[in-house]
Structure 1
């Protein structure tokens, strides 16, 4: 009888050790979402798309909400966000994403947007002209950018 009690004791101890080792045998809670990559800073020329992306783990059924300088961006609810045609006024804004799941919420680091003007190419420089006082002079230059023609004025 004593041997049977010792055997039962060891069997119960083994079951308890297995349950403790695997997290108790019940449903273990999932961790809250964590950002595993991005978003990263983006630099584009005026009018070219700027895309921010994030990769997250943990949690289940994660949802995303992108923020611009801390304010929610309407309909920006995917793992990536694209600003279709940024202007120079968009430069310096910070973009981040808030990730929600049933196990918690996390917000990514801020990624900065830099928007630059396209470089100007001068194809034909104005030529030097000698003139007398009161005589009209015409100077011309040809310039362009990757975004189209330029307009300019002299006084």
Structure 2
């Protein structure tokens, strides 16, 4: 299968990667969550070419992750705002950053600290079961195929 056809797979991870699955896109999302909205600000922070940035912002907009909103009429200028679909990616970004903080930080430690505003403590994001409230890890989860996809997916149900 070719990368450009990855969104055709019966797999939610593959379909998600079709929209957010490259390094520049994840860095654009990181910056969105840090409050960046304008093209020139993204380009300055990321050091990416205009062409690549334009392509990633277009892909995120077409994918429903960002809205392109005019903030000036003459000349017309736009900013990019996270949609509710985009804001729902926050846990993904936080967990990815937290993983990097734990395993990839240098001697100076993590570059950013996330503070929970309500209690003023450092955030330690965890996956919880919505039903019972328990913290869960990969070994605590069983994966089952949707009846519609039965037999169409190669899967290892061992977590």
TM-score range, shorter chain: under 0.3
**TM-score, normalising length: structure 1:** 0.19
Q: Choose between structure 1 and 2: higher strand proportion.
A: 1
| Higher CA-based Rg | 1
Q: Choose between structure 1 and 2: higher helix proportion.
A: 2
